[in-house]
């Protein structure tokens, strides 16, 4: 900052232009990545901006253009799968010239409040990760601005939907276990909601498809480690005890594994375990959880593309993109104890 500038004043575009010896218009072109200025000029402008600590005034820019170029994302702060999605959404959005504003659902802050915060922040579109709101509420919200629901179907199809085929994902896990020789395959449920219902139905349909309909067993569970521990305690009292267990998600699988280890049940020798989500901790060497991947890069790519098509491409009709899941086989599954490898 020059000696004539007041202390604490935020550097402006004109300051960068003066320091670099170019016009403000040239600075604007360089900072927006527009073709025209030479490589030497670009380097000089960027160096001057860095030395001055210049940051574009997004508020002023958005007021001038009547656009904020902000995408709001609602996530459950306790859900590690959402954290993975957010990281990819952020990166993909930035490549398209948009920034992301996060609003979290917590124990004391519901989804409605999280959405209101993003609306107050002048977001141009919303990406809702695993939204819980009814379809009609999502449709009403979409009439205000583009909405993309990620991870769950919306029966009315009044919003854009990007999701993995949850029923197919669970079916892949059942097929894997049945192929290893398992017959007594139990499912730890995820509780209420559209996604738990889809995965539960996928398990039941797959068991019937493999001729195991009479052995279907669904026990109460949830989406946390604690629910997995509770499920493990329940399974220990089942007679005959299942030789394989599918869980609603990886967090429940982790709790289940903990409960089994504490009870002295060897995994996978005495019981195989499969999770869902392919979370980072499932890949740790001392866990090596067999799980179902929802293909996060593809989910986020389609979600951001849906936003861009609505905002910049003029698309008005709603659509659903269903991404095929894939099974990731690791160390928590093997043949049942009564069948040799």
Q: How far apart are CA 123 and CA 145, in angstroms?
A: 9
Which among 8-12, 80-84, 173-177 has the top mean pLDDT?
A: 173-177
pLDDT score at 9: 67
Mean pLDDT across 265-293: 96
Q: In the numeric block, which tokens belong to residue 179?
A: 């192929």
Given this chain, do its domains 13-56 and 166-294 carry the same CATH topology? no
For domain 13-56, give its CATH number from 1.20.140.10, 2.40.160.210, 3.40.1260.10, 1.10.260.40. 1.10.260.40
Q: The domain at 166-294 falls in which architecture?
A: 3-Layer(aba) Sandwich (3.40)
pLDDT higher than 50, residue 140: yes
> Per-residue b/e over 187-226, b at no fewer than 16 CB within 10 Å?
bbbbbeebbbbbbbebbbbbbeebebeeeeeeeebbbbbe
Q: Quick one: CA torsion of 120, 109, 136, 153, rounded to 10 degrees?
A: 110
7-37 pLDDT per residue, tens: 556 788 788 889 999 988 888 778 767 677 8
Strands 291-293 and 320-323: what pairing? unpaired
pLDDT bucket at 63, cuts 50 / 70 / 90 = very low
CATH superfamily of 69-164+296-323: Response regulator (3.40.50.2300)
Q: In the numeric block, which tokens belong to residue 94?
A: 């930035």
Mean pLDDT across 205-217: 97
Question: Which secondary-structure segment (H or E) carries 26?
Answer: helix 24-31
Domain ranges across the chain: 13-56, 69-164+296-323, 166-294
pLDDT score at 64: 47
Mean pLDDT across 197-202: 95
Least confident of 92-96, 112-116, 180-184: 92-96
Torsion over CA: 198, 78, 224, 336 (sign)? positive
pLDDT higher than 90, residue 105: yes
Mean pLDDT across 250-270: 96
pLDDT bucket at 185, cuts 50 / 70 / 90 = very high
37-57 pLDDT per residue, tens: 888 998 898 899 888 887 765
Q: How far apart are CA 111 and CA 299, in angstroms?
A: 21
pLDDT score at 339: 56
pLDDT score at 65: 47
């Amino acid at each position: 900052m020059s000696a004539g500038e007041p202390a604490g004043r935020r550097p402006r575009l004109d300051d960068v232009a003066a320091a670099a010896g170019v016009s403000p218009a040239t600075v604007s072109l360089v900072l927006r990545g527009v073709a025209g200025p030479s490589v030497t000029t670009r380097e000089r402008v960027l160096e001057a901006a860095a030395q001055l600590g210049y940051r574009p005034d997004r508020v002023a820019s958005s007021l001038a253009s009547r656009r904020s170029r902000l995408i709001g994302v609602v996530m459950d702060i306790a859900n590690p799968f959402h954290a993975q999605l957010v990281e990819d959404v952020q990166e993909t959005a930035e490549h398209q010239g948009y920034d992301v504003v996060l609003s979290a659902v917590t124990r004391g802050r519901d989804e409605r409040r999280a959405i209101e915060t993003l609306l107050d922040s002048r977001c141009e579109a919303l990406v809702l990760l695993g939204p819980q709101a009814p379809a009609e509420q999502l449709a009403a919200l979409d009439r205000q601005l583009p909405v993309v629901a990620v991870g769950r179907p919306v029966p009315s199809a009044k919003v854009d939907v990007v999701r993995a085929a949850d029923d197919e994902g669970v079916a892949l896990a059942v097929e894997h276990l049945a192929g290893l020789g398992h017959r007594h395959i139990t499912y730890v449920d995820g509780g209420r909601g559209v996604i738990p219902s889809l995965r539960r139905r996928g398990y039941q349909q797959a068991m019937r498809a493999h001729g195991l309909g009479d052995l279907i067993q669904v026990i109460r569970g949830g989406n946390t480690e604690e629910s997995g521990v509770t499920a493990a305690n329940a399974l220990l009292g089942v007679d005959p005890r299942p030789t394989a267990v599918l869980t609603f998600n990886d967090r429940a699988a982790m709790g289940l594994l903990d409960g089994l280890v504490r009870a002295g049940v060897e995994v996978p020798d005495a019981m195989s375990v499969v999770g869902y989500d392919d979370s980072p901790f499932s890949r740790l060497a001392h866990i090596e959880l067999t799980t179902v991947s929802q293909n996060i890069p593809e989910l986020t790519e389609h979600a951001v593309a849906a936003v861009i098509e609505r905002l910049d491409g003029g698309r008005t009709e709603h659509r659903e993109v269903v991404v095929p899941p894939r099974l990731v086989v690791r160390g928590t599954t093997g043949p049942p104890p009564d069948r040799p490898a």
